[in-house]
Amino acid sequence: DAGVIQSPRHEVTEMGQEVTLRCKPISGHDYLFWYRQTMMRGLELLIYFNNNVPIDDSGMPEDRFSAKMPNASFSTLKIQPSEPRDSAVYFCASGLSGSKGETQYFGPGTRLLVL
Amino acid sequence: AQKITQTQPGMFVQEKEAVTLDCTYDTSDQSYGLFWYKQPSSGEMIFLIYQGSYDEQNATEGRYSLNFQKARKSANLVISASQLGDSAMYFCAMREGNNYGQNFVFGPGTRLSVLP
């Protein structure tokens, strides 16, 4: 079975540009999470969805960040405009409610560099 | 206060030896879950093992086992017969309560190096 798929795997952009990160969760999973990982702050939960509905976006750093989940198999995280401090690895994870531990399964991540 | 504490920033172990990675947690919930993830240098986050707060037996998954001491609020990961491929960052995580997604926090991680 395919795991969580993220694209692109690497992104280099200039300050001020719009960045869109994409995620395809594991088929059948009803939860989707977006995380950001930096050396300084570790892993931070940005937002999560249940059945395509955003449940908690309190981790989204500011209005420049937005996330959508138009259907059960696709989600985007958008940064507009991007800033150098947004440079990080962004992970998408999915999970199935009622499963053992309700474990989250992570995608390979998108490494973002904003110049 | 830190919810998850991993006191060992780095650990070394000889190949084929066992190693214990420490994790302590802080919660007032009675229902919670504890997880360990592995992050190799390639960057992906790999789920290793799960322990529920009501599970009476320690979780085991192949060479991984979780030494769960509820009264001490510790959930140490034991890797038996270390392999060179075990060299990676290891993160302890906790989900508090029954609300999936909420209060899912990660520790700072321990970098394990397996020596040949």
- B38-88 pLDDT per residue, tens: 999 999 999 999 999 999 899 999 999 999 999 999 999 999 999 999 999
Nearby residues of B45 by Cβ (< 8 Å), 6 or more positions away: A91, A93, A106, A109, B37, B38, B39, B91
Q: Do B46 and A48 touch (CB under 8 A)?
A: no
State whether residue A33 sits within 8 Å of chain B by CB: yes
State whether residue A8 sits within 8 Å of chain B by CB: no
Question: Which chain B residues are Cβ-neighbours of A103 within 8 angstroms?
Answer: 35, 47, 50
Tokens read off for A84: 């150098």
Question: Which chain A residues are Cβ-neighbours of B33 within 8 angstroms?
Answer: 101-102
Q: Percentage of chain A surpassing pLDDT 90?
A: 82
A-chain residue closest to B51, CA distance: A101
A-chain residue closest to B110, CA distance: A42
Per residue of chain A (115 residues), give pLDDT as tens.
Answer: 689 999 999 999 999 999 999 999 999 999 999 999 999 999 999 999 999 999 989 899 889 999 999 999 999 999 999 999 999 999 999 999 878 777 899 999 999 999 9
Whose tokens are 């592995």? That residue is B38
Q: Do A111 and B43 touch (CB under 8 A)?
A: yes
